[in-house]
Amino acid sequence: MSLPFDYVLLKTDLLFYILILAALGYAFYASRHEHLLTPWKQVVRRPLGMSAAVILTLYLVIAILDSIHFYPRLEGQDSNGGGEYATEIISAFDVLAAPLRKHQEKTYSAPFATHLYSKEVVNLPGGGTRRVYPRLQYGGAALDNPATQEEADILHRSLVGAGQALLAWAAAVLLLVVLRTRQQRVSLRRCAADMLAGRTDVPWRSLLATLAVVALLIGISINLCTAYHIFGTDKVGEDVFYQALKSIRTGVLIGTLTTLVMLPFAVALGIMAGYYRGWIDDAIQYIYTTLSSIPAVLLIAAAALLLQVYMAEHANDFTSLVVRADLRLLFLCLILGITSWTSLCRLLRGEVLKLREVEYVEAARAFGVSNPVILARHLLPNVMHIIMITVVLDFSGLVLAEAVLSYINIGVDPTMNSWGNMINSARFEMARDPIVWWSLASAFVFMLGLVLSANLFADAVRDAFDPRLRQEQAGW
């Protein structure tokens, strides 16, 4: 008896799981402490912030699905015998997106195309050859006569997808309205009218509107992507939509793991420097001034060069391309963490310098509470808002940094799906005639979706957590 898959735990997967568990743990802890919950309740009231949160959740779900890796069992093996496993690592997301992954064409094809983007020589049945645009193997393969049938087919599939999406959405809305009606003991009509008019604490109207848009996009794209390449195919014929979706994990991981890596150092050193002062402060200040005075890009480049040398020397240790790319991703997160912890450390030091003079810290000292306990129980909770704001604000910057670094070849592994690599390859595609624009366009759309919603969410979090801004309630 063997499992249908052989589970693999990549290093970045493990860290990502730890991060998610930590976030869940924090959510559980915060839900039982009123003072931690208050700012979050404010975040929840912001329409724009909540709409952004819906989209972020979608990205996060895809990233999580794409972080469960295993070797699939080769087909054609009996289920209870000792099956053979494939040598290629795939993820749970790959299983869901199997049609996208397997629909491989020969080379470039435009979005919704039924023919290749370049001419090929074909043998005519009656002898002789001609140069034509050959039909795609998968894109619109079900159509007999693409020129006349394609539009109708696309419209039909879109309508079916939209219908399914709206049905699911309507069911969710109905469930929500019924639940709220029972909870608040008002009439069904009153409850629905309140939500429609935006008279609720939680901005259900914008939340549900965003959800409707997201559902429509998902429904339509699922129905279309199995029959067409909705974002075209790239040079080796891989579906660009699939690449853009796979890049989500890279972007999300770089934005979150970097923070996870740098947070312990920044928090511990920053609080210690502010609290102990004296030579400890001097030493910590020296470390972070030195590190931050090295240009970040050059430090990253230096580290990336080192890793390349290391990998070239130890080429035999990496059994699979995925493992190799994974190590490089982890290393990039580490290096980005080293270059980005200094600003948080400096902020925390400044805040703790002020806090250590406050009465409750003095009282704790007078009671003979030991220094480590003061640091952990009295100072840390009171600088939490700075940490929270920095973490959320840094995320979008890191996603953008990945694209730039991959562009100058010091980012993630070239074999790894990432928006930076897509943009990098698009440089040559833009110079072709006629130009190949779809790789660039899809990287643009997917990146903008993640970064914009992260920025909007970060704004909501900052406004709720920053005590200086707390009095002036922003209206949107």
Partner 1 sequence: MIAYIIRRVLYAIPILIGVNVITFFLFFVVNSPDDMARMHLGHKYVTPAAVQNWKEEHGYNKPLFWNAGAQGMDKFTDTIFFDNSVRLFAFDFGQSDSGRDIGYDIHQRMWPSLAIAIPTLLIGLLINITFALLVAFFRATYIDVWGVIICVTMMSISGLFYIIGGQFLISKLLHLVPISGYDTGLNAAKFLVLPVLVGILSGIGNGTRWYRTIFLEESNKDYVRTARAKGLSERLIQYRHILRNALIPILTGVVVVLPMLFMGSLITESFFSIPGLGSYTIDAINRQDFAIVRSMVFLGSVLYIIGLILTDISYTLVDPRVRLES
Measured CA to CA in angstroms, residue 91 lies from 67, 98, 105, 254, 350 at distances of 6, 10, 22, 18, 44
The site string for partner 1 over 317-336 (x = CB under 8 A, - otherwise) reads: --------------------
DSSP for 81-107, written as a single string: S-PPBPSS-EEHHHHHTHHHHH---SS
Least distance in angstroms from the C-beta of 356 to partner 1: 19
| Closest by CA position to 112, among listed 418, 447, 448, 438 | 438
State the helix-helix crossing angle for 47-65 and 240-276, rounded to 10 degrees.
110
Distance, CA of 313 to CA of 325 (rounded, Å): 16
The rounded Cα 120 to chain-centroid distance in angstroms is 39
Q: Interface with partner 1 by CB under 8 A: which range of 145-153, 200-208, 374-382, 399-407?
A: 399-407
* Bridge-based pairing state of the strands 5-8 and 69-72: antiparallel
Contacts of 434 (CB under 8 A, 6+ apart): none
**In terms of CB distance, is 276 or 444 closer to partner 1?**
444
Measured CA to CA in angstroms, residue 464 lies from 35, 220, 389 at distances of 12, 36, 9
Which of 80, 148, 183, 293 contacts partner 1 by CB under 8 A?
293
Distance, CA of 349 to CA of 272 (rounded, Å): 8
Beta-ladder partners of 130: 122
Distance, CA of 208 to CA of 219 (rounded, Å): 16
**In terms of CB distance, is 196 or 404 closer to partner 1?**
404
Q: Interface with partner 1 by CB under 8 A: which range of 121-129, 157-165, 173-181, 406-414?
A: 406-414
Instruction: Determine contact, residues 443/419, Cβ cutoff 8 Å.
Output: yes
Which of 74, 122, 152, 430 contacts partner 1 by CB under 8 A?
430
Least distance in angstroms from the C-beta of 329 to partner 1: 19
Which of 121, 124, 147, 312 contacts partner 1 by CB under 8 A?
312
Instruction: Determine, following the binding rule CB under 8 A, whether residue 408 of this chain makes contact with partner 1.
Output: yes
Instruction: Determine, following the binding rule CB under 8 A, whether residue 456 of this chain makes contact with partner 1.
Output: yes
Least distance in angstroms from the C-beta of 8 to partner 1: 28
Instruction: Determine, following the binding rule CB under 8 A, whether residue 239 of this chain makes contact with partner 1.
Output: no
**In terms of CB distance, is 389 or 400 closer to partner 1?**
400
Least distance in angstroms from the C-beta of 400 to partner 1: 5
Q: Interface with partner 1 by CB under 8 A: which range of 88-96, 141-149, 261-269, 443-451?
A: 443-451
**In terms of CB distance, is 360 or 428 closer to partner 1?**
428
Instruction: Determine, following the binding rule CB under 8 A, whether residue 302 of this chain makes contact with partner 1.
Output: yes
**In terms of CB distance, is 114 or 210 closer to partner 1?**
210
Which of 156, 377, 427, 432 contacts partner 1 by CB under 8 A?
427
Tell me the two tokens of residue 331.
């290393």
The span from the first CA to the last CA of the chain, in angstroms, equals: 57
- H/E stretch holding 269 reads helix 240-276
Instruction: Determine, following the binding rule CB under 8 A, whether residue 352 of this chain makes contact with partner 1.
Output: no
Instruction: Determine, following the binding rule CB under 8 A, whether residue 426 of this chain makes contact with partner 1.
Output: yes
Running DSSP on this structure, what letter comes out for residue 317?
G
Least distance in angstroms from the C-beta of 408 to partner 1: 6
Which of 301, 311, 369, 384 contacts partner 1 by CB under 8 A?
301
Running DSSP on this structure, what letter comes out for residue 135?
B
Q: Where in 263-292 is the site for partner 1 (CB under 8 A)?
A: 286, 289-292
SS3 160: helix
Least distance in angstroms from the C-beta of 44 to partner 1: 20
The count of chain residues that interact with partner 1, using the rule CB under 8 A, is: 45
Interface with partner 1 (CB under 8 A): 286, 289-295, 297-299, 301-303, 305-306, 308-309, 312-313, 396, 400, 403-404, 407-410, 419, 423, 426-427, 430, 440, 444, 447-448, 451-452, 454-456, 459, 475-476
